[in-house]
Amino acid sequence: MKRSIAGRAGMVSHIVYSDGLAAVSVFIEPLPKASIAHHLSHQGAVNIFTRPVADFMVTVLGEAPAATVMQIANSLEFRGPPSR
């Protein structure tokens, strides 16, 4: 799903993965002007990991182990548009 979020430039892509027990959300949005570094945090049982990928900021969050949200975020790479 793509959506716009108030106060943020550009569209944000939102992807949800679930095994039926736990769900993990992946948000991909344009990289803000301020520098973004890898960042792991949590709010209760929800782990959140953010990292830059090319010109995008990837945020993965869910009620999953920190290692899992980090592995999902670190597995993403930018491939660009297909060549013609």
CA distances from 34 to 16, 20, 71 (A): 27, 37, 24
Count of H-run helices and E-run strands, the chain: 1, 6
**For 2-61, how does the pLDDT look when each residue is reduced to its tens digit (9 = 90+)?**
777 666 667 899 999 999 988 999 999 998 888 778 899 999 999 999 999 988 999 999
Instruction: Say how far apart CA 42 and CA 27 lie, in whole Å.
Output: 16
- pLDDT above 80: residue 1: no
Map out the domains of the chain with their CATH numbers: 2-75 (3.30.200.100)
How far apart, in whole angstroms, are the C-alpha atoms of residue 57 and residue 37?
10
pLDDT value of position 36:
79
**Confidence (pTM):** 0.84
Structure tokens at 25: 């959300």
